[in-house]
Amino acid sequence: METAEIARRFLAFFENNGHTVVPSASLVAEDPTLLLVNAGMVPFKPYFLGQRTPPFDRATSAQKCVRTKDIEEVGKTARHASFFQMLGNFSFGDYFKEQAIPLAWRLLTSSVADGGFGFDPERLWVTVYLDDDEAEAIWRDTVGVPPERIQRRGMEDNFWSMGVPGPCGPCSEIYFDRGPAYGAEGGPIADENRYLEVWNLVFMQYERGPGESKTDFEILGDLPKKNIDTGMGLERMAAILQGVENIYETDTLGRILRRAAELTGTVYGDDDRADVSLRVVADHMRTATMLVSDGVRPGNEKRGYVLRRILRRSVRNLRLLSGDDKLYLHDLTDTAIEAMGEMYAELRTGADAIHSVIDAEERNFADTLRSGTALFNRAAEKTRATGGTTVSGADAFQLHDTYGFPIDLTLEMAAEQGLRVDEDTFRSLMAEQRETAKRDAKAKKLGNADISVYARLLDGSGATDFLGYTDHESEARVLGLIVDGASATAASAGQSVELVLDRTPFYAEGGGQLADKGTVTAEGRGVVDVDDVQRPLPGLFVHRGTVREGRITVDDRVHAAIDTDRRAAVSRSHSATHLIHSALRNALGPTAGQAGSENQPGRLRFDFTASKPLSTAELTEVEDEVNTVLLDDIQVRDFQTSIDEALAMGALAMFGEKYGDRVRVVEMSDYSRELCGGTHVGATGQLGVVKLLGESSVGSGVRRVEAAVGIDAFRRLSRESLLVGQLSEQLKTPREDLPERIDSIVGRLRAAEKEIERLRSAQVLEAAAGLAAAATTRGAALFVGHRAPDGTTADDLRRLATDVRQRLGEDRPAVVAVAAVPKDRPVVVIAVNKAGQRQGLKAGDLVGTAARALGGGGGGKPDLAQGGGSDPAAVETALGAVEQQVAQTA
């Protein structure tokens, strides 16, 4: 039975039993305490916590999940995976154990022909919580499971909570006996490899208090309503029903794994190390594909770092498998899209954009590998220079943390050079980083209460009626006030306040468009200056501002009015964003998908997927096309329709965005048609002019254009025209000849700077003969200490030091110490000949002495080292300290 069919059967069964089928939420969690959705119940968490009222009593879902806590274990076992899908059924105060348990049993044991999974009842075992007599009785007396196949387990195994104060309750788990070949008899408590968990039924019936661990907390009492939360791992169920050994041999992951083996010329099952790498690649490529599809982009923090890390682990393991540096991710992304496309159609429709992001990250990591290799080589050189054989754990951690190098790569590179790595220190630093992350995560969990104030307002008063598409002002009633994060009945002059109105013309920030500003006035009572509007929950508009005068209270009748000039300017920018998007797609192709935007008054920025920078010609083409559309004065129309109809007519959806069944389409004839909830002009001619200000990179595979719109664009063009005129007059050159004239001037300046640098360098080196001749004897060594003229570069100091050292020869030990202040910060270079090194004089040691005197640090090889500091006045002192150390050592 294919994975997609397993999910279809599960959802159909519960839909036929009165449950609402809820589509999988995006992997990008709405919960601010989570980076990514990591469990099937996460989208329902506000309902279980009582923060929001569920729109249904029963629900069922197949939820996408990502967990990266054990990412280092992925591939090492056949059980760990970073992406998985959780099938679940949920009850919000509707039914409880007496229905949840029989429903689960019926679905598992009904025949395939009857829509079930066809499990043999004799091979199923169950566990219940230690004192859950009720659940045991239902399994035994209602379902008919023999008492000997019902086992009781403790809190560690069969009691669930979120880890923070809130709902909790006992669990009951269902296990499948895979047979004697997989382990010992005796049920789940004897061997969980043989007895494989397939379903966990959570009975939320208590409220827990604070505690430090999974088992250390107090039960405060019963919940007002008893809830059901179940979870069945789709991949594990697929492995059982498809008769394969593990999840990596199922129809989805197995397809990606086999393709990775084909591309790299390996065979799964022939070599344990290769098998680990193949499992890593299969898991990570599926995870990366799903993350990119939900709008995540590679980066150095949060979700972006998760994606970057798994992509880089994929590249590294592919190189270990193939022994070459070919680019394989495009092909494997295709395979992942096909493997998962039946369940998630958006993967196929968004394939071009997914490829664009992943391909760019793979190319960028190829460059990173080169940079990281250079860093490792420096660390290895430093290790050998000090006579060591072990690369420091700190260097290994920097490679891991900065360049994304897996520790196995660092170990391999060290072994190739006959070195070891201080793994203990590395793992200590990693553990410290994880503990910091855990503490941060634990602190963030306490943020569950943050939205409860808004949730109570939404539940008590209902959604805000938004009038802003047609009205710029309206009468309204104050439904709620929030001051300092808590509900309030009134707010007085000078206080920051959040207002919830029953109706509003204010646009709340969203879709890249900044919020409206304006005023809320209670006649004769008070005025609030609104400077931001947000929607912390769907349908709830929260107006944030300051009470300018008087007093505002709940139930006040008020007049809400937006700043119309600002709204018009923002709307022009938003309409310009749509036009630029279309022009970019026309110039670059459909892969130029939207990756973010911000529409300000008179100015915008638009992020889009692209593998390389735009040329000047492409930018000019885009700008010309947009302004031509403005001249055509195309009417801007918006209308509501179904999501399917909108996509069928070619409307563009923002990549990774979430939409409901009914959507708003904004179209500009056939030139631009997008799903959008923002405000726009009535016709393109109202934009006046659009001027592109530049193009840049904002991340792997993502570029950004910025533009000025309307009067702001005109003013910018006017300023630039004035500047060009001034340059033309100053240089006595016609405007059209300015580029060539300026190039000529810049070329001459650069040539002059090079000549000045050459002369200065020559002047410094001219002193070499005199310095060598004036060398003094310190102990058994010759010593030269010299302060070069300020402004002398570090490169020139190195050349001077090595030149003087060469002139001193090898007959006697010799040390050369030269210093200068090139840019307000002193630099010192020390050179030691071979005879001096045999005498025990090391440049690295000597430069450390000088650098400490300068208030800084330094290092290098025994023959040449460089240091610096922050105290220019200490140069002579530093040279003197080196001279004294030479005298004592030689």
CATH number at residue 571: 3.30.980.10
Provide the pLDDT for residue 484.
85
* pLDDT band of 846, cuts 50, 70, 90: very high
Q: What is the mean pLDDT of residues 78-93?
A: 91
Distances from the Cα of 683 to the Cα of 582, 632, 636, angstroms:
16, 9, 5
Higher pLDDT, 241 or 77: 241
Contact present, 803 and 786 (Cβ < 8 Å): no
Strand partners of residue 814: 782
The model's pLDDT over 96-118, given as tens digits with 9 standing for 90+, comes to 999 999 999 999 999 999 999 99
The annotation places the binding site for Zn(2+) at 574, 578, 676, 680
Residue 788 DSSP symbol: P
User: What does the angle CA 183 – CA 186 – CA 190 come to, to the nearest 5 degrees?
Assistant: 65
Q: Cα-flanking dihedrals φ and ψ of residue 687, to 5°?
A: -75, -25
Residue 239 in domain? yes
Does residue 125 contact residue 149 with C-beta atoms inside 8 Å? yes
For 452, the token pair is: 């409860």
Q: Answer whether residue 712 is part of any domain.
A: yes
Mean of the pLDDT values across residues 792-803?
A: 90
Cα-based angle 767, 769, 772 (whole degrees, multiple of 5): 105
Same domain for 226 and 272? no
pLDDT at 416: 65
Lowest mean pLDDT among 112-116, 320-324, 448-452, 664-668: 448-452
C-alpha distances in angstroms, 58 versus 54, 91, 92, 254, 632? 9, 5, 6, 34, 53
Q: Are residues 326 and 401 in the same domain?
A: yes
CA distances to 80, 650, 826, 844, 886 from 816, in Å: 59, 74, 17, 13, 10
468 found inside a domain: yes
Same domain, 268 and 417: yes
Separation between Cα atoms, residue 277 and residue 320, nearest integer Å: 8
**Residue that finishes a domain, picked among 369, 402, 421:** 421
How many Cα atoms are found within 13 Å in the side-chain-facing hemisphere of 776? 10
Which tokens belong to 679?
A: 């405000």
Residue 561: its pLDDT value, please? Answer: 97
Give the separation between CA 400 and CA 432, rounded to whole angstroms: 14
Same domain, 510 and 630: no
| In the predicted structure, residue 343 carries a pLDDT above the cut 70 | yes
Indicate the SS3 state at residue 276: helix
Among 512, 535, 562, the domain-final residue is 562
714 within some domain: yes
Farthest CA pair distance, the chain: 105
CA distance 303 to 291: 9
Q: Which residues contact 723 (CB under 8 A, 6 or more apart)?
A: none
Residue numbers in the known binding site are: 574, 578, 676, 680
Q: Are residues 494 and 587 in the same domain?
A: no
Which one, of 198, 232, 229, lies nearest residue 95 by Cα?
229
Same domain, 221 and 297: no
**Within a domain: residue 129?**
yes
pLDDT of res. 656? 54
More confident of the two residues 417 and 438: 417
830's tokens:
């020390």
Give the tens place of pLDDT for each residue, 385-409.
Answer: 887 889 888 888 888 776 667 676 6
Pick the residue with more confidence: 490 or 51? 490
**Measured CA distances, 67 to 80, 88, 384, 848 (Å):** 10, 17, 40, 46
Residue 494 is part of a domain; what is its CATH number? 2.40.30.130
Position 655 scores a pLDDT of 58
Q: Which of 234, 165, 158, 245 is nearest to 203 (CA)?
A: 158
Going along 496-602, which residue ranges are E strands?
496-501, 503-504, 518-522, 526-537, 540-553, 557-562, 594-600
Which of 64 and 736 is assigned the larger pLDDT? 64
The answer to whether position 190 is within a domain reads yes
Q: Provide the pairing of β-strand 195-211 with 864-868.
A: unpaired
**In terms of Cα–Cα distance, which of 765, 814, 821 is closest to 791?**
821
Domain containing residue 626? 567-718
Q: Tell me how far CA of residue 62 lies from CA of 87, 105, 246, in angstroms.
A: 4, 19, 20
Q: Which residue has the tokens 């679940």?
A: 88
pLDDT of residue 449: 34
Q: 757 in a domain, yes or no?
A: no
Asked if the model's pLDDT at residue 8 lies above 50, the reply is yes
Helix (H) or strand (E) holding 641: strand 636-642
Separation of CA 377 from chain center: 29
According to the model, what pLDDT value does residue 858 have?
Answer: 81
Percent of the chain with pLDDT strictly greater than 70: 96
* Mean pLDDT of the chain, nearest integer: 89
Are 190 and 271 within one domain?
no
| Structure confidence at residue 789 (pLDDT) | 87
Assign residue 836 the CATH number of its domain: 3.10.310.40
Give yes or no for residue 139 having a pLDDT over 70: yes
Which SS3 state, helix, strand or coil, does residue 22 take?
coil
On whether residue 591 sits in a domain, the answer given is yes
Look at residue 436 in the predicted model and tell me its pLDDT.
65
pLDDT at 885: 93
Cα distance between residue 869 and residue 702, in whole Å: 39
- Arithmetic mean of pLDDT, 207-226: 86
What's the total number of domains in the chain? 5
pLDDT given for residue 448 in this prediction: 36
Task: Calculate mean pLDDT across residues 432-448.
Answer: 53
Percent of residues, the chain, with pLDDT higher than 90 = 61
818 and 684, same structural domain? no
Judgement on whether residues 574 and 557 belong to the same structural domain of the protein: no
| Strand, coil or helix: 638 | strand
Do both 212 and 124 map to the same domain?
yes
* Pick from 324-328, 561-565, 703-707: least confident: 324-328
Please report, for residues 14, 22, 54, 66, the alpha-carbon distance to residue 90 in angstroms, rounded to integers and kept in the order given: 10, 11, 11, 20
Residues 611 and 502 in one domain: no
Task: Tell me whether strands 526-537 and 518-522 are parallel, antiparallel or unpaired.
Answer: antiparallel
d(CA 819, CA 790): 9
Instruction: Looking at the structure, tell me whether residues 640 and 518 fall in a common domain.
Output: no
How would you label 488-504 residue by residue, b for 16+ Cβ within 10 Å and e otherwise? bebbeeebebbbbbbbb
- Predicted TM-score (pTM) of the model is 0.65
Pairing of β 690-699 and β 702-709: antiparallel
Domain boundary residue, one of 562, 590, 618? 562
Q: Mapping DSSP to helix (H, G, I), strand (E, B) and coil, where does residue 538 land?
A: coil
pLDDT at 428 over 90: no
Per-residue pLDDT band at 445 (split at 50, 70, 90): very low
765-788 per-position pLDDT tens digit: 788 889 999 999 998 999 999 999
